Amino acid sequence: MTRKGSSVLVMTIVGGAICPVIMGRIADVSGMAAGFIVPLLCFAFIAWYVFFKAKSIIIFKEGKHSHA
C-alpha cells in the first residue's frame, strides 16, 4: 500500500495534474526560484504521508494496536 500510495502521489501531484500549472504561474509572477516552492510543498506532503500516515496504517494492519 505504501509503494502504491506514494507513487500515485508523486505522479499525479507533481507529475502533471495541477502543480505544474501553479508552479508556472508563480514562476511568471515571481521568478523561477519562487516557483520551486510548489514541488517543495508537494514532496513535503509526500514525506508526511510516508512517515506518519502510511506508517500508522501499516501498524494498524499488523495488529500492533491494542484494545484496552
15 within some domain? yes
* Total count of domains within the chain: 1
Task: Report the predicted TM-score, pTM, of the whole model to 2 decimal places.
Answer: 0.58
pLDDT for 46: 78
How far CA 17 is from CA of 13, 14, 22, 63, in Å, comes to 6, 7, 10, 36
68 within some domain? no
Rounded to 10 deg, the angle between the 54-61 and 2-9 helix axes is 160
51 within some domain? yes
For 12-30, write each residue's pLDDT tens digit: 666 677 788 899 999 999 9
Q: Which stretches of the chain score pLDDT less than 50?
A: 68
pLDDT for 44: 87
Owner of C-alpha cell 494496536: 65
Tell which residue, 38, 49, 45, has the closest CA to residue 16.
Answer: 38
67 within some domain? no
66 within some domain? no
Note down the domain range covering 21.
2-61
